[in-house]
Amino acid sequence: MAKSKKRKSKKQPAQQVKIKPENYIKKYARKLPIHECLIRDDWKEAKFSPVIVSRKRANGNFVAATYIVDLSCLGVKNTSFIYDIDTYSYQENIKEMEQGMGLRFEKIESSLAHNIIYGAVEFAEDCGFEPHKDFTKVTEYLLDSVESIEYIDVHFGDEDGKPLFVAGPYDDSKKIMETLRRTVGEENFNYIAEIGSPSMFRTGSDEPFMTRQEIKDTFLPDEKVNEKVASFELENHKAAYIPQIICAEIILEEVEGQIHLLEDAYEENEDFLDQVLNNLASSYAASQNISVGDIDKEVLNELDNLVIFLTEKLIEFGSTDFLFEKSYTPVPRIVSEEALKQMTEEELDAHQAHRLFYMTNQERYYHTISEYAYYYLSVNHSETDFQQEAHQKEALQGFLEDAKKESKETLGEETLKDYTEGFNAVMKLYFLKSNDEE
């Protein structure tokens, strides 16, 4: 499945430039006082744990990073950060992580947290494994420099200090084993076969770590969903929001509510997106009282793009909070012909501006042009005989000129071709067909 491609947004008035969170962390984070460091209370036995390091800004808000640390072999497997959040949001983030991962955090001294993280990175590097790419890009800068910390002896590897690779469901076991054989030798590491469940924190139960209902109650509670739905002014935004919530539930269900595993699942498991799409398609088919095989190809393609879009957003934010932010507007589906006719020009502009164009260029042109062209024709040329070629060309030229003004830039040759073909297709599909029937 293709990765998402976003539509270039319209030019906006110049705004005050704000420093990017990543750049802020790189430049200033080490100057902030450490607020607290957290780790799971059984980390010594588990040898695998999130480590959270938070710092407090002068405005009272927090900057924090989470490091998913494997003390046995692979070091920092994943990492993410949150930036400039208030006390309540910070505490809720910690609580959500505890609930989602089924563990309890305890506070530790910052020197110990640093030794665990840096020590795990060093141990893993000796085994041939680099830390997660975002560690060296961003979150390392939220830690004190390695030269400045007091050394504490932390045990890594198995009881004998040998690398112990405990295979997770999204690990490339073959590649990792080959690396260990090359770096430490066949006799100098141990291996535990792949766990069947996404959960890294099981205690032997075959029950899912979090059920669909538990995921819904924890990450997508009804009260927050209903409040967000009530905030939308346009009906098509309301109609687009619920499928997103259902899709998010299905995505999180695939990793049993453990968002920290989502990126690995997305990047390393070839079947992950297909499985989510199949489940979403089944849910859609049930809601429409049809079979999955009867789902329109265009609808199935939209569901596919929605899965990619939401998976990427969940990975980017590390939570579902973005779905409930005041500024968030869902990706609306294509509105019907009747709904387009009833829209004002301002509503059509809002509909187009708010859609997050995660579709491919070809799909984007088709859907955008279809809506604009149909609206243009139905409003401005409803009484014209469009079967006359001269009127068709005149209307087409007018639409293309409007498109150029709308984009505020000259359309390239290929783009102009897309607009022209799209316009002609819409005109034949809607107006000529309607005229023939009349």
pLDDT-derived band of residue 87, with 50, 70 and 90 as boundaries?
Answer: very high
For 58, counting Cβ atoms within 10 Å of its Cβ (0-12 exposed, 13-18 middle, 19+ buried), the class is exposed
Residue 71: φ, ψ to 5°: -80, -5
pLDDT-derived band of residue 100, with 50, 70 and 90 as boundaries?
Answer: confident
CB 229 within 8 A of CB 222: no
**pLDDT tens profile 263-292:** 888 887 878 888 899 888 888 888 888 888
**pLDDT tens profile 71-85:** 999 999 999 999 999
Which of the pair, 329 or 151, is modelled with greater confidence?
Answer: 151
Neighbours of 233 (CB within 10 A): 9
**pLDDT tens profile 202-238:** 333 445 567 778 888 888 998 999 999 888 877 767 7
Dihedral sign from CA coordinates of 265, 271, 275, 278:
positive
Tell me, what's the pLDDT at 232?
81
Structure token digits, residue 380: 């401005």
What CA–CA distances, in Å, run from 243 to 64, 284, 430? Answer: 32, 9, 28
**Whether pLDDT at 51 is above 50:** yes
Using CA atoms, how far apart are residues 77 and 168, in angstroms rounded to an integer? 11
**Whether pLDDT at 316 is above 50:** yes
pLDDT-derived band of residue 10, with 50, 70 and 90 as boundaries?
Answer: very low
What is the domain partition of the chain in residue ranges?
Answer: 21-192, 210-333, 334-438
Dihedral sign from CA coordinates of 83, 87, 88, 91:
positive
| pTM for this prediction | 0.47
95: left (phi over 0), alpha (psi -120 to 50) or beta: alpha
